[in-house]
């Protein structure tokens, strides 16, 4: 019957689409690897650590300042954003009354939608001049970390808030019944119970911060040098790619693709660590093991 062959075609079409979409990740890995092959053969992995400096024109490809730059900026941003974000989430969950809580939450939700280039722009025209007046040159590790922290804060706040409100009410009743004060209730009961959710939030924020390009490109100063203080300018892996990709050729280009591959590996690792912490998604369980009393219908 023609209808059932149409059904078969539909099933196959969606499968082909799904598989091709699933292939994108593989394709990215393959093409990045292919494009960075000269980095392995011509330059050699060791050169990325051993070379004297990053002078692509002289065939010197020391990536250490950029890797350090990425890690330092991300670490400082995370150190600023995590306690602040969790504190704000606690406020939202336990202290905010009606209007105040709702408007704060609305503001934070609004900020999740602000593009990173706007954060970068604002950092460049508003934060950097202020910092420069305090401690030249302004565009620095500190500026990048500050703006980056602001950018990832909404993620941390909203996800931690969700994790905290997901803690069963009975735990809090039990805490109250044991006559624990609110401090003990929050720090010894709620936060440990919400730990996996909060860690997932922080890991997600970490992934976004380390992969972020625009903010650091615009406010970090982009000087290839290990920073000696937070007021020094710095260049990250992502900014390096964005700055040099337009004119990079041959080995230089391969080196940039290699740093992209490095980022990809780093973020994939974070996703895997994140999966360890987040619990199994419930819909998987029902879809895979249907029971007779809660049958999951699907197309034959």
Q: Which of residues 253-272 bind another protein (CB under 8 A)?
A: 256-257, 260, 263-264, 267-268, 270-271
How far apart are CB 192 and another protein at their closest, in Å? Answer: 15
**End-to-end Cα, the chain, rounded Å:** 15
**Maximum C-alpha span of the chain:** 78
Query: How buried is residue 45: exposed, middle or buried, by Cβ count under 10 Å (0-12/13-18/19+)?
Result: exposed
How far apart are CB 156 and another protein at their closest, in Å? Answer: 10
Nearest Cα residue to 238 out of 126, 73, 25, 82: 73
Q: For residues 166 and 190, is the Cβ–Cβ distance under 8 A?
A: no
The reply on whether position 223 binds another protein by CB under 8 A is no
Q: 3-state DSSP call for residue 300?
A: coil
**Out of 37, 245, 250, 276, the residue judged to bind another protein by CB under 8 A:** 245
How far apart are CB 77 and another protein at their closest, in Å? Answer: 14
Q: Which residues ranging from 104 to 133 are in contact with another protein (CB under 8 A)?
A: 104-105, 107-111, 113-122, 124-126
State the number of binding residues for another protein (CB under 8 A): 112
Q: Which residues ranging from 183 to 212 are in contact with another protein (CB under 8 A)?
A: 183, 185-186, 204, 207, 210-212
| Cα 66 to chain centroid, rounded | 18
Q: Please identify, among the stretches 47-55, 57-65, 227-235, 291-299, the one whose residues bind another protein according to the rule CB under 8 A.
A: 291-299
Q: Which residues ranging from 76 to 105 are in contact with another protein (CB under 8 A)?
A: 83-84, 87-88, 90-96, 101-102, 104-105
Cis peptide before 137 (omega within 30 of 0): yes
| Cα 245 to chain centroid, rounded | 22
The reply on whether position 217 binds another protein by CB under 8 A is yes
| CB nearer to another protein: pick between 50 and 296 | 296
The reply on whether position 165 binds another protein by CB under 8 A is yes
Question: What sign for the dihedral angle of Cα 87, 92, 94, 97?
Answer: positive
Q: Which residues ranging from 47 to 76 are in contact with another protein (CB under 8 A)?
A: none
| CB nearer to another protein: pick between 170 and 229 | 170
- Distances in whole angstroms, Cα of residue 239 to Cα of each of 124, 190, 212, 235: 15, 39, 9, 6
How far apart are CB 118 and another protein at their closest, in Å? Answer: 5
Q: Please identify, among the stretches 40-48, 194-202, 226-234, 286-294, the one whose residues bind another protein according to the rule CB under 8 A.
A: 286-294
Q: Which residues ranging from 32 to 51 are in contact with another protein (CB under 8 A)?
A: 32, 34-35
**Out of 60, 68, 132, 242, the residue judged to bind another protein by CB under 8 A:** 242
Euclidean distance between CA atoms 148 and 211, whole angstroms: 11
The reply on whether position 250 binds another protein by CB under 8 A is no
Query: How buried is residue 98: exposed, middle or buried, by Cβ count under 10 Å (0-12/13-18/19+)?
Result: exposed
């Amino acid at each position: 019957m023609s209808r059932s062959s149409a059904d078969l075609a539909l099933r196959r079409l969606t499968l082909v689409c799904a598989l091709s979409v699933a292939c994108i990740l593989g394709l990215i890995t393959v093409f990045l690897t292919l494009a960075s092959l000269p980095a392995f053969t011509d330059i050699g992995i060791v050169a990325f650590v051993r070379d004297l400096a990053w002078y692509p024109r002289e065939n010197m490809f020391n990536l250490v300042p950029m890797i350090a730059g990425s890690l330092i900026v991300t670490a400082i941003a995370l150190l600023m954003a995590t306690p602040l974000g969790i504190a704000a989430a606690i406020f939202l969950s336990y202290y905010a009354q009606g209007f105040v809580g709702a408007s704060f939450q609305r503001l934070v939700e609004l900020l999740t939608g602000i593009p990173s280039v706007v954060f970068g722009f604002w950092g460049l025209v508003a934060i950097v001049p202020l910092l420069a007046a305090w401690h030249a040159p302004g565009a620095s590790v500190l500026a990048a970390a500050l703006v980056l922290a602001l950018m990832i804060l909404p993620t941390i706040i909203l996800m931690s808030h969700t994790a905290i409100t997901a803690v069963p009410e009975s735990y809090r009743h039990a805490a109250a019944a044991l006559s624990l004060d609110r401090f003990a209730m929050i720090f010894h009961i709620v936060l440990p119970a919400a730990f996996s959710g909060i860690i997932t939030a922080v890991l997600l924020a970490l992934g976004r911060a380390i992969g972020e390009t625009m903010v650091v490109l615009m406010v970090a100063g982009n000087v290839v040098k290990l920073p000696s203080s937070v007021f020094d300018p710095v260049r990250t892996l992502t900014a390096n790619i964005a700055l040099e990709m337009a004119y990079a050729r041959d080995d230089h280009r391969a080196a940039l693709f290699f740093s992209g591959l490095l980022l990809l590996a780093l973020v994939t690792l974070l996703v895997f660590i994140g999966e360890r912490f987040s619990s199994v998604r419930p819909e998987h369980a029902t879809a895979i093991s249907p029971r007779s009393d809660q049958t999951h219908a699907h197309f034959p």
